[in-house]
Amino acid sequence: MKFWTGTAFTPTTDAIVLARILDEVGFDGIVVSDHLIYPRELNSPYPSPTGKPMWTPDTAWPDSWVLIGAMSAVTQRILFSNAVYVAPARPLLEVAKQVATAAVVAEGRVTLSVGAGWMREEFELLGQDFGTRGKRLDEMIEALPALWRGGWVSWTGKHYRIPELMIEPHPPEPVPILCGGESEAALRRAARLCDGWVGSAYTWDEAVRRVARLTALRREYGRESEPFEIMFALREVQSVELFKRAEDLGVTAVMCSPWDRTAPASGGSAEQRYRPQIERFADDILARM
């Protein structure tokens, strides 16, 4: 079992301190969330019962790849990914270039976790078609490894046509691509095309259903014997026993929050505010796993 945590809803500059502490105590990875803007007029429905985001318009969403590059510079072994990166809101070549650069800077400690996205306004501001985002994401997942090979590369598909060119630097090794999202289309995308799936936060019974569905889909696509990452958070009391049950279920990574995200960002340095809670989690959970 691997243990990951995220930087969402923490002060942007705190992420650098957090990364260093998490790396030191033995966490396996950090996920970075992605949004570009919050429009004054938000008409896109958020995928929740209320149809509204849970965060306020002034919530900070730092650029994923800038932040990952900065965190990789102060760490040695911890991995970096997304939860999730709205790849089809960007041009294919831009995604290829950003991820490749981050992979080189982080010396291979990067995976890409993609999602189709829900905010039409972001797509329109970036000049990308919202209506074809799922189909374009499918093609993007296949195109990116071809563009990361190094040397002269190209790609021709229905939505993307990249003439022969070089994109340097290219990743030192293949970058795993995971898929996020809870819809049937997202689960099928993960099972058919990706190296894993990133979910949200679930009760135990919800987690069992998600893993069972992914297992069935991987079997349908003839991929049940291939390595496959399954990562999400559990809405249960965190314990060694819980995480061992999850591991037995087939979960390969859990997202945890070892510090209080509701605490104010004042009252001492970031080091003083985060380290005691992270070290306590490491002693209570990581050391016993």
Could you report the per-residue pLDDT of 247-286, keeping only the tens digit for each?
999 999 999 999 877 665 667 899 999 999 999 999 999 9
Q: In the predicted model, is pLDDT for residue 85 greater than 80? A: yes
Q: pLDDT for 195-232, tens place per residue? A: 999 999 999 999 999 999 999 999 999 999 999 999 99
Average pLDDT, the chain: 96
- In CATH, what is the architecture of 2-288? Alpha-Beta Barrel (3.20)
Q: pLDDT for 16-32, tens place per residue? A: 999 999 999 999 999 99
pLDDT of residue 260: 75
pLDDT of residue 265: 60
pLDDT of residue 264: 57
* 234 and 242 Cβ atoms separated by less than 8 Å: yes
Distances (CA, A) of 178 to 50, 53, 105, 123, 189: 27, 23, 20, 21, 9
Sign of the C-alpha dihedral computed for residues 254, 258, 264 and 266 taken in this order: negative
Residue 19, helix vs strand vs coil:
helix
Q: pLDDT for 102-148, tens place per residue? A: 999 999 999 999 999 999 999 999 999 999 999 999 999 999 999 99
pLDDT of residue 262: 64
* 140 and 95 Cβ atoms separated by less than 8 Å: yes
Q: How many CA atoms lie within 13 A of 241 on its CB side?
A: 2
Question: Would you list the domain boundaries of the chain?
Answer: 2-288
Q: pLDDT for 3-19, tens place per residue? A: 999 999 999 999 999 99
Q: Residue 231 is encoded by which pair of tokens?
A: 């990562």
pLDDT of residue 259: 86
Q: pLDDT for 107-120, tens place per residue? A: 999 999 999 999 99
208 contact partners, CB below 8 Å, separation of at least 6: 249
Mean pLDDT is lowest, of 50-54, 96-100, 191-195, 265-269, for: 265-269
Tokens 């990067």 sit on residue: 110
Share of the chain above pLDDT 90, in %: 96
Give 91's pLDDT tier (boundaries 50, 70, 90): very high
pLDDT of residue 12: 95
147: left (phi over 0), alpha (psi -120 to 50) or beta: alpha
How many Cβ atoms from other residues are within 10 Å of residue 256's Cβ? 18
Q: Residue 121 is encoded by which pair of tokens?
A: 């306004």
**79-100 mean pLDDT:** 98
